Amino acid sequence: MKVRTLAAAALAAALVGTGFTATADAAPSNRNVQVNVVLTSDITDAALASLAKYGTVTGTLPEIDGVTMNARLGDLGAIRALSTVFAANPDAPRVGKPVPISPYTDTTAGYSTWNLDQIDVTEKPGAGTRVVPETGQGVYVAVLDTGLMSSWRTYFGEDRIATEYATAFGGGGNSGKGNVSQQPNKWQTDTNGHGTHVTSTILGYNVNGTPIAGVAPQAKVIPVKVLNNNGSGQSAMVAAGITYVGDLKAGPLKDSPVVINMSLGGSELDALEKAALDYAIAQGVLIVASAGNEGTAGMGYPGAYEPVVSVAANGWVGEWQPDAAGNQRTWWYASDVREKPYIDDDAYITDFSSRALPGQDLDVAAPGSWILGPYQVNQGQLSYYYLGGTSMAAPHVSGLAALMAEKDGALTQAQLETTLEDTAVPLEPGCRTILSGPGTATEEVCWGADATGHGIVNAVDALAATP
């Protein structure tokens, strides 16, 4: 994966490429680890007693017949062999951290940006140029991420964040130090910024009194913190977050469309996470996840899990192209992006975006290169950065899912995936020469058919195909 840097722009100080790292567990067999277990049926005293022979049960998720426990790594085979156990694995790491580094309650009429222009949500130039009538009104989007920075009210309208449902989960991991716990007050204490940047693509954001457009500006975001302040976490935390949103959909939000965005991933599908995904989808939750930033090394999970809508990252050949006056700083909002049918000439797949290996399911692509949004490197100092990664691509599709769910409140996960795939604009394998950042340096990026899924999402066509 490549990391790009750039000099300060009018509203952005730097690009930080994003990536995921996956490390093999090399712990000795006598070391205690957290093990995530999915049972074959309901959690019973007998099932818990059989597990207790090999360690200490630390938590349960009854909705998905899930159990967390501390056990020796060497006993994992014996746990898996129990008749009551459907699947078991060590708690797996999840990462959503970018690598190196409001007066407006509604940004519907906010300034168009290149990335929203490319997927046909807005037109260029300027403010008030929305193409599609849907705004996400009445839809909840749960952002499972690092939570929000304490300054979130400056960037987003206060009524756009569903604070009554916001929460955090902590714990997990292979240290053998305890179970996953719910930490309701930590969701707005993030010092990482990843979740705030992701949220800004969905809702839009405020820059010193100027509204910047979002994909679904009237949706309500539910921050669910499942990654810690260094941008990493464990699959048990993610599973707990997914289950929590599934419970919301089954309970207080049963009459509202609910979308989950997961700009995170790891190298393997965790059993507890899979069960949570299946549970949430069964409740009617729509789920979108980033494909991962491992290039040819393959996709991350849960994005690669077939029922999930997975998103690759694409860019645009107009990035950093100077305007008529030679200014390279205005391109992100002042340049007109040619959409369908010119995407095959003007778009590219980023080199870091994960390619689909055999058995992995890559669905669509969306803008994930040079995406501007709020991101603070100094606490207490408001700032805006360009970030690049499939983490930035996924919320474009989650926002589009919210628009589709506004139009069809009964939209299912299978219908969402099929419609997005059928209406995506194909991007044939190829190469592009692009500017590397401000200045004149160029680079060539190339991609094959394993990098694009069904193509780049198109809001107009996806909504037209939604009943």
Q: Do 239 and 276 touch, CB atoms closer than 8 A? A: yes
Instruction: Tell me which residue of 332, 421, 427 sits closest to 385, measured CA to CA.
Output: 332
For residues 433 and 411, give the distance between their C-alpha atoms in angstroms, rounded to a whole number.
39
For residues 34 and 31, give the distance between their C-alpha atoms in angstroms, rounded to a whole number.
10
For residues 87 and 273, give the distance between their C-alpha atoms in angstroms, rounded to a whole number.
11
Helix (H) or strand (E) holding 29: none
For residues 243 and 280, give the distance between their C-alpha atoms in angstroms, rounded to a whole number.
6
Q: Do 425 and 456 touch, CB atoms closer than 8 A? A: yes
- For the chain, what is the radius of gyration of the CA atoms? 21
For residues 286 and 413, give the distance between their C-alpha atoms in angstroms, rounded to a whole number.
5
Instruction: Tell me which residue of 395, 427, 303 sits closest to 116, measured CA to CA.
Output: 395
**Bridge partners, residue 290, by sequence:** 311
- Exposure letters 415-428 (e unless 16+ CB within 10 A, then b): bbbebbbebbbebe
Classify residue 442 as exposed, middle or buried by CB count within 10 Å of its CB (0-12, 13-18, 19+).
exposed
Output the CA–CA distances (angstroms, integers) from residue 57 to 18, 34, 43, 60, in the order listed: 35, 9, 12, 8
Question: Which residues does the annotation mark as catalytic?
Answer: 145, 194, 391
Which tokens sit at 163? 């604070």
Q: Which residues contact 379 (CB under 8 A, 6 or more apart)?
A: 191
Which tokens sit at 258? 């609910």
Classified as helix, coil or strand, 366 is: strand
Which tokens sit at 420? 């997005």
For residues 273 and 243, give the distance between their C-alpha atoms in angstroms, rounded to a whole number.
9
